[in-house]
Copies of this chain bind each other. A is one copy, B any other.
């Protein structure tokens, strides 16, 4: 009766809050919203595709206090990055496994908005869900928004899930 499950791609990222090694508030919000409002009890009707795009660390804020003495120090840095990305995806995959929703997860490197749209083209999901910090126009100028770009350019329907105002951290640019 049901045919192929509806394939929902989700762009997920890490929290930018220091010392908080988890998914961002907006990623978790978008994921929970999708489960509650779209998947509901129909766990076999959907397949979730988690894409985490790692931004090449140009500013290196996290590494302010590190000392690089040998090429190996950079290698271990890259491994740490990768481990963090895998940990992030593991949380989402575990949750899907618990509730019995099929899923896939993978990591890409690059500019999140470009990579997400490129992966939509390649993977052809039925729907793309992206979380958004819900920033005002003034804040958006400085941080850019992945969600706005995807709504315009992704070649599939897109839902943007805004972060609830009461979950915004002290600095709303954080997530």
| Among B1, B33, B42, B151, contact of A151 (Cβ-Cβ < 8 Å) | B151
Q: Is A2 in the interface zone, CB < 8 Å from B?
A: yes
The complex is assembled from copies of this chain, and their number is 2
- Whole-angstrom distance between the Cβ of A85 and the nearest chain B Cβ: 26
Chain A binding surface, main DSSP class: mixed
Mark each residue of chain A from 17 to 58: 1 if its CB lies under 8 Å from any CB of chain B, else 0.
000000000000000010001101110010000000000000
Q: Is A167 in the interface zone, CB < 8 Å from B?
A: no
Are B157 and A151 interface neighbours, CB within 8 A? no
Q: How far is it, in angstroms, between the C-alpha of A44 and the C-alpha of B33 when the chains are bound?
A: 18
Can you list 24 pairs linking A and B with CB atoms under 8 Å apart? A1-B41, A2-B40, A2-B41, A6-B37, A6-B38, A6-B40, A33-B157, A37-B126, A37-B127, A38-B38, A40-B42, A40-B45, A41-B42, A41-B45, A42-B42, A42-B45, A127-B159, A151-B151, A151-B160, A157-B159, A157-B161, A158-B159, A158-B160, A159-B159
